[in-house]
Amino acid sequence: MDRVILHSDMNCFYASVEMLYHPELAGRPLAVGGDPEKRHGIVLTANYPAKKKGIKVGMALWQAKQACPDVVFVPPRMDLYLRFSRLARELYSEYTDLQEPFGIDECWLDVTDSVPLFGGGRKIAEEIRRRIKLELGLTVSVGVSWNKIFAKFGSDFRKPDAVTEITRENYRDLVWRAPAADLLYVGRSTRKKLATLGMLTIGDVARSDPELLHSIFGKMGYILWVFANGEDRTPVSPESYVNPIKSIGNGTTSPRDLEDNDDVRTVIYLLSESVASRLRDNHFVGDTVGLWVRDNGLYSFCRQQKIGTPTNISDEIARHSMCLFEEHYPWTVPIRSIGVRMSGLHPDEYCYQLDLFSDVKAREKQFKIDLAVDSLRSRFGHDSVLRGRMYFDRVLSGLDAKAEDHMIHPHSYFESGDRTGTCRIMENLQTYE
C-alpha cells in the first residue's frame, strides 16, 4: 500500500505575515529584506504584486528598487515568523506526528495512518489549506503524493492557495513534462550538464540510464534517477526527531559590499568567533573548514579543506577560512555574503596526532583567551570585548553573529534522508532490473 505524503508550503511566507500587520499596504508591492538605507541584506521574499513587477528572492535591495520603484521594504522579524511557523505545525500535529520541516515555511506530513480517520490525502490537504487560511490568515499550497519528492513538486505546481495531487496515474503527465530544473536538487550547474546530455525534462531524467547519470554526477546521479521516477522511500521524520549535529557554521549578508581582503578578514573573524564559540558550547572540535561566498552579482561558491589539527579556536578557524578565500576568490566584483563552517566534528577530548611544528603552549593560551572572552560576553554582552580590527569598521563589525533571535537554520533533505530512504537507491535500481 502506498504512503500518503503531503508537502505544505506557506505562500510568500515572510511577506504574508507582514501583510497581516500592515493591512494599509493591501494590494501594494511589499518585500522583506532589511534596511534599504544601510543596504543590510537582500530580498528574502516578496508578495505577489511585487513579484509581478519583477522582484525576485535574492535580489539586492537596490536592484529590487530599480525593478519596482514603488516597492515597500520592511525589515525581517524572525521571531514573528517563527511564531507563525510554530502555530502552523501545531495545526499539522492534529493530523499526524510525522511532520518534518524543510525550512521555516515548508513541512512534509505523513498522513498514511490518518486517512481512515480524516479521509483521503486530498481531503486532509484541503482541510489544512482551509484552516491555515481561517485560523492564521495565511495561504498555503499543498502537494499530495505517495513520496516526498512528488509531494513537494505538487506544492510548487500551483500557487497560491491550492492543492495538487500527484498520483501514479497522472505523474507522467504532470511531473515528467516539467523542466528538469523543477526536480529537487537540480540546480543551475546540474541543469546545464543534463541539458548537454539532451535531458531537458524530468521525464528525460527518469527514462535515462542510471549508470550514465552515476558516471557524471556520482552518487547524486542515482539519487536524481530515483527522485525522477518517484521511487524515493525516504521516511518523514517524527516531529520530535532531532538530527545529530554534523557541522556548525554561521553566515551573514554584510551591511555594505566588501571591497577588499581587509573587509573580508573583518567579517571572517566575526563569523569565526561565533563558530568557535558554538563548537566550545557543544564540546566539539572540527577538522574541516568550509567557506561560502556570494558576490553582488549573486554568483556563489563553496570550498572546504581538511586541516591537520582539529580545532575550536577562533583565530585558527579564521586563518584557515581566509586562506581558502584568498586561494579561490579572484576579486572580479565586490562581495555581499560570507559564511564559515566547521565539519568533521569530534568530541573536544578527542585524541589526535600532534603536529611536529605546532606551538602547543601558544594554542593553549589562545584557547584560554577564547574561554575568557566567552565568559565576559555572556555576562556583559557581545560588544564588551572586541578584537582591535573590529574598531576600524563598526558598520561591518556591528553584528552579534552568535545571537539566536535573528538566526534561521536551513534544513537539508539529506539530514534524515540518508538514514533509511535514499540509502536504498541501489535496492530500488535492482527492483527495476
- The set of catalytic residues is 106
45 membership: H or E segment, kind and range: strand 45-46
Residue with cell 532589511: 34
57 vs 68: CA distance, rounded Å: 14
**Cα torsion angle, 237, 242, 246, 249, sign:** positive
Burial of 134 (0-12, 13-18, 19+ CB in 10 A): exposed
What number of CA atoms fall less than 13 Å from residue 205's CA on the CB side?
36
186 vs 208: CA distance, rounded Å: 15
Annotate 293-318 with b (16+ C-beta within 10 A) or e (fewer). bbbbeeeeeeebeebeebbbbbbbbb
CB 84 within 8 A of CB 136: yes
Reduced to 3 states, what is the DSSP secondary structure of residue 214? helix
Residue with cell 568567533: 273
CB 273 within 8 A of CB 401: yes
Reduced to 3 states, what is the DSSP secondary structure of residue 185? coil
Q: Cis before residue 160, ω within 30 degrees of 0?
A: yes
